[in-house]
Chain A
């Protein structure tokens, strides 16, 4: 009896191998993420951290000539001297506020630590930052993140050993309670991505461009500045569009509240 030899094309075999390999990869990733959720991000980030640090150092001017650095240093020293004068009046006001808080029994105790921003939007997707401090430095996944100038911008979502991921409140769909304008109207800020927020308030509430948005804590940190108010005669609500006073695309340092 003669049988026809079963013949498979090489392409067919290759496609099947790829499908099986993909299945194995998915299973391994799912298992690892289920058992050790920080293993893969920690492992890959430990490889990438030296490159990101080097990139940060280069962008911070580590390769500039000594003459350029000295000029820059001189300019910065002048700037510091100017700022110190202004800082003294701010310090006086702060100490006054602290005195009032102490009188009212509401002393704010918070320790903040400076972190370098290794990756920021638009290159990092998902509207997030990668910073160079992790749980080895006391950062936890409940820590809040401030931009220079005491501007609340996000929170730590994943603290690895030496790096952490920061989810910006402006990430699409993220929500945060805020107070709008001089009347401190409560509203929910919804992230629109790219450092932009929107919130809905009653059309009767007076909000105009340039009004401050603050977070409803004891310290009233600035959260954003109103850039536009969109209202329609047929809609009982007005949409307030606002952005933080800092450019998230240019952030190099942030403060982490432990």
Chain B
């Protein structure tokens, strides 16, 4: 990974971290999707999803809705990995 890509990834991570801390899922989600597409093994999306649910969800009586960010982040990561495999053959 070259230096430019590392810096780019750090910037993406910072934007996602600030967005998740502030509860701005509408910023975190598109930025994370771009990150998954641009960088390899972008595990940060799952970390962000887990963090988001830990902040605002994960209440037993919410049921699966309390884990919606984690579920969405894992689905996005898996779909993008599959898409990348098809597109970049």
A residues with CB within 8 A of B: 9, 11-12, 14-15, 17-19, 21-22, 25-26, 29, 33, 37, 40-41, 43-45, 48, 51-52, 55, 119, 123-126, 128, 130, 157-158, 165, 167
Contacts and interface: CB of A to CB of B under 8 A. Distances in A.
Contacts of B43: 21
Contacts of B55: 41, 44-45, 48, 119, 124, 130
B56 A11 contact: no
A123 to B, nearest CB: 4
B85 A15 contact: yes
Given A45-B54, A119-B56, A157-B59, A18 B81 contact: yes
Contacts, number: 87
Given A25-B46, A157-B61, A15 B54 contact: no
A22 B56 contact: no
Contacts of B25: 125
A19 B85 CA distance: 13
B3 interface: no
Nearest to A173: B65
B79 to A, nearest CB: 10
Contacts of A43: 54
- The B contact surface, by secondary structure, is helix
Given A19-B81, A125-B25, A14 B56 contact: no
Interface string B31-44: 00000000011010
B4 interface: no
List 4 tightest A-B contacts by C-beta distance, closest first. A44-B54, A123-B23, A11-B85, A18-B81
A11 B84 contact: yes
Interface residues of B, number: 33
Contacts of A55: 22
A40 B50 contact: yes
23 contacts: A14-B40, A14-B41, A14-B85, A18-B78, A19-B81, A21-B43, A22-B46, A26-B74, A29-B70, A33-B58, A37-B58, A37-B60, A41-B55, A43-B54, A48-B55, A51-B21, A119-B23, A119-B55, A119-B56, A130-B55, A158-B59, A165-B59, A167-B59
